[in-house]
Each structure stands twice: as structure tokens, then as C-alpha cells.
A and B are shown apart, each in its own frame.
Chain A
Amino acid sequence: MTLKSYDQLSSLEIDTLREIGSIGTGNAATALSQLLDREVRITLPEVRIMGYNEAIEWIGGPEAVTAGVLVKMSGHMSGIMLSVQPLEFVNIVLRSMFGTNVTSYEEMGELGQSALVEIGNIMISTFINALSGLAGIDVDLTVPAFTVDMQGAILAVPMAEYGGMSDYLMTIGGNFVCDGEQVPCHLLLSPDLRSLNFLLRKLGVSDG
């Protein structure tokens, strides 16, 4: 069956997407671990289908300020991938790479910002590489875009992009645990509906 909305996903399809999320975030964690030279694990990855306002609450409220790295996918699959990086995550990166700590985003400087963009980009690219290898598809990625702003507005980017098709936001992603410490860093994949249908067919869980 071809999906017309994200909330029509069957439990088998959700399980498959969760597996994709698991492999994707697992690979991203390995990349992050090598970059930071620290042990990085992942928590159980989640597939979430949420209403807009529910999604904003889930990420931790609309007004909290976070850094966001965004990459757009095209090719066999189109969609948006986001790395949402709260200040705790930023500090783990800065401590590991430069031995510094910041109390706000303004303090991190150009070097810190480049490091965040690069780490976001590497995690996203690793995730997508794992996914495209698994499904046997080609996905092109744009250069990463970066912003520091209210996370509600950052999360609204994939909502607005695919809002014409659905009242829901679907995200596949997970959190990271760094040296036993939970790191609040979300890696979120939001495919458009057509691509989601294509991906599920490629993975052999949709007969449409």
C-alpha cells in the first residue's frame, strides 16, 4: 500500500525504519567516537510520528536555543536531515577537541562553530551512507547549513517543507551516550512521503 500520510505506517514498516535508525545512528556514533577519541554509544533509536506541537514539546520546548546542522537530501531519496546540538553536546565537542568550555553559543567562536558544522555533517553523512548502502540507493547531500536559534523554529523547517502532504512530522533518530554520560543530541531524518514509500519498497517491506 502506498502511504498517503506518515500516520499510516504499519508496525512492520516502523520496525524496519527503527532498524535503519539503529544502523544509521550506530555508524554515526562510531564516527563521533573516532573524532572525539572517546567512547560513544547510542540509546535505543526511535521512529516517531508526531503532530507539530507534540514534536516541539518532545524536543524540549519551542524557545530553548540550540545549534542545528541541516543537510538536504536528493537523488533517489529526498528529505531533510538535522543534527540538533544543545549546549551540553557543544561542550563535549569543544572539551574533546580544544580543551575549552563555553556557557553560551556566543562564546564558541568561529573555530568552535566550524567544528560543530563538521561534526554534524560527518554524523549525517555516515547515517545516510549506511542507509543508502542498506537499501541500495543513491542519495546526494547538500553542503551543511548551520544556525543557532530557537529549536522550535529549527524543527519547523522539515514540518514546513513537507507540511503540504501531511499534518505529521516523522523522524527517525537516536541519542548518544558519551563515556557513560547521556548526551542530548538528536540526529533526525525526515524523508518526504514519496521517498519513504520508495525506501520501504526497496527494503522489501512494502508491496505497493
Chain B
Amino acid sequence: MADSKLTVGIADMKMAQGSGVLITYALGSCIGLCFHDPRLRLGALLHIMLPLNMEAGRKNPMKYADTGIRETLKQMEAKGASRSRMTVKIAGGAKMFEISGGGGLGNIGQRNIESVHTILKQEGLRLIGEDVGGKVARTLLFDVVSGQGCIRSYGQKDIIF
């Protein structure tokens, strides 16, 4: 995975077709989702932060699992992608800090994982790989041609999936 990398920020999504590697850095409780249509060699990388969009204004759909996944699907389908061919891989949802008596803090990762699973199922998308939970941050790279993902973490070996 060399050449040009396209960076996906927080609450952001980018697409590439034909060639290119998408990258998103330092996923903590956030989740990175790699959408791939192998026939079109089309891929999208989405970086969501929260499980459900309950904002009134809905200015930033990519911040949330539900609206983020649906918006990404819409944009991919506009380029001719088909759900029956499409596959999804996800990474993230870690718990960065272990807080005693901290209430809900730190559970956002777990809630993100559950929400992503539910919405992928609702939308009829196939989840073919995941590396979620745990306590470490992940940087996620995604090759839009091969559909291969790579996860970098601090103090650990890279994971190819």
C-alpha cells in the first residue's frame, strides 16, 4: 500500500475508484467502516463518532453510524454500486480510559459497535471482517482496489484484514 493516500477526518467520508488508498487516523471509540464494491473497484471509508443521530439540525450526517452509513450507501449507489456485491469491514470501538464510577463514559465504543452491526444488518450489507473493542487506538488503511484493510496500533503488530 504505497502511493497516494487520501485522509478521512473525524465525522468524514471519502470515496475512491480505480486506484488509491484511504486512511483514517487514531480511531479510539470511533469506528472506521470500509465499504467495497469489487466489480467497480470502488471503495469508501467512513469515520463515525457516535451511534445514533438525534440532532435536530442534522448538519453533519457522517458523525453518526446510522446517518453516516445510509449517506455513504446513497453516494456509492449513485456511482453504480450494488448492495449485493458490496462488502464491509470495520475497526475501532475501543475504550480508551477505564474509569471507575464514571457512568456512561467509555461505553461509547461499545454502543458504536452495536449500532453499526444493527444498521449494517438493516441495510442488508455483508460484514466480512472486523477488529473492534479492546483498549487501543487504531489507524485504518483501506485499498479500494483489492478491498484489503490494514490496522496500525501503538506497540502492536499491523493487522491485515
Smallest CB gap from A164: residue in B:
B50
Among B5-13, B34-42, B74-82, B119-127, the stretch in contact with A = B5-13
A residues less than 8 Å from B94 (CB atoms) = 153
Known: A160-B49, A163-B49. A149 touches B101 (CB 8 A): no
**Bound complex: CA of A96 vs CA of B121, how far in Å?**
55
Kindly provide the distance from the CB of A156 to the nearest chain B CB, expressed in whole angstroms. 5
Per DSSP, chain B at the interface is loop
Cβ of A63 < 8 Å from any Cβ of B? yes
Kindly provide the distance from the CB of B92 to the nearest chain A CB, expressed in whole angstroms. 9
A156 touches B29 (CB 8 A): yes
Option from A152, A154, A163 in Cβ contact (under 8 Å) with B25: A152
A residues less than 8 Å from B26 (CB atoms) = 56, 62-63, 150-153, 156
B residues less than 8 Å from A148 (CB atoms) = 154
Cβ of B59 < 8 Å from any Cβ of A? yes
Per DSSP, chain A at the interface is mixed
Among A17-25, A139-147, A171-179, A200-208, the stretch in contact with B = A139-147
**Bound complex: CA of A153 vs CA of B32, how far in Å?**
13
Using an 8 Å CB-CB cutoff, how does the interface string of A174-194 with B read, 1 for contact, 0 for none?
A: 000000000000000000000
B10 touches A56 (CB 8 A): yes
Task: Give chain B's interface residues, CB within 8 Å of chain A.
Answer: 9-12, 25-30, 49-50, 54-55, 59-60, 63, 94, 96-103, 105, 108, 135-137, 139, 154-155
Task: Give chain A's interface residues, CB within 8 Å of chain B.
Answer: 52-53, 56, 61-63, 65, 68, 70, 72, 74, 80, 106, 142-143, 145-154, 156-157, 159-161, 163-164, 167
A-B contact pairs, 10 of them (CB 8 A): A52-B11, A72-B102, A149-B28, A149-B136, A149-B137, A154-B96, A160-B49, A161-B108, A163-B11, A164-B55
* A72-B103, A153-B96 known, 4 other contacts, Cβ within 8 Å: A63-B139, A143-B99, A146-B97, A163-B50
Q: Shortest 6 CB-CB distances between A and B: which pairs?
A: A152-B26, A153-B28, A153-B137, A62-B25, A145-B97, A62-B26
